[in-house]
Copies of this chain bind each other. A is one copy, B any other.
Amino acid sequence: MLNLPPQVVEFLQQPNPAVIAVLRPDGFPMTVATWYIWDEGRILVNMLDSRSRLAWMRKNPKVGLTVFSDNWYTHVSLYGSVVAIEDDPDLSGIDRLASHYTGHRYRNRKVRRVNAWIEPAGWHGWDPSGRLSSPGVEAS
């Protein structure tokens, strides 16, 4: 499991804005905004089962995630692999994410959604205050 400083883990546990990068079959990385949950070292994301990026991560499990604080300059980035993809027939996965971000369950009950679990392999932090920065990262 990736070894992260406790203040970075604490940051990742908050309902922060995030963007996920997935690899298109033509090799371009595609990035989109996403909800995520940090679950004891693994990352949960959830998508409509019709999303292109779900098909792309089935073909190539390598993904990246950047998580922002209120000040978007402060961020923690992770990269790793999708290690499990599972249907979310009772919407408990998206409800967990919706509750974390909005305080209530997901409103649209008539959709087919899928959970993906990401195992991070490395990280990079950047923070003007230095608190969340990786060792050796310059401020400018």
Cβ-defined contact, A28 with B121, below 8 A: yes
Cβ-defined contact, A31 with B21, below 8 A: yes
Complex CA gap A108/B139 in Å reads 10
Contact with B along A54-72 (1 / 0, CB 8 A): 0000001011111010001
Cβ-defined contact, B33 with A23, below 8 A: no
**Majority secondary structure, A binding face:** strand
Cβ-defined contact, A80 with B28, below 8 A: yes
Chain B residues with CB under 8 Å of A30's CB are 21, 64, 77, 79, 124
CB of A59 to closest CB in B, whole Å: 12
Contact with B along A67-92 (1 / 0, CB 8 A): 01000110101011000000000000
**Given that A33-B126, A140-B108 are contacting pairs, would A72 and B28 also be in contact in the complex, using a CB cutoff of 8 Å?**
no
Copies, count: 2
Task: Let me know if A135 is at the binding interface, CB within 8 A.
Answer: no
Cβ-defined contact, A64 with B33, below 8 A: no
**Given that A19-B19, A24-B79, A108-B140 are contacting pairs, would A63 and B29 also be in contact in the complex, using a CB cutoff of 8 Å?**
yes
- The interface of chain A, by Cβ under 8 A from chain B, is 17, 19-24, 27-33, 48, 50, 60, 62-66, 68, 72-73, 75, 77, 79-80, 108, 111, 121-122, 124, 126, 138, 140
The 10 closest A-B pairs by CB, nearest first: A21-B29, A17-B72, A28-B79, A21-B21, A29-B64, A29-B29, A31-B66, A31-B64, A28-B62, A19-B19
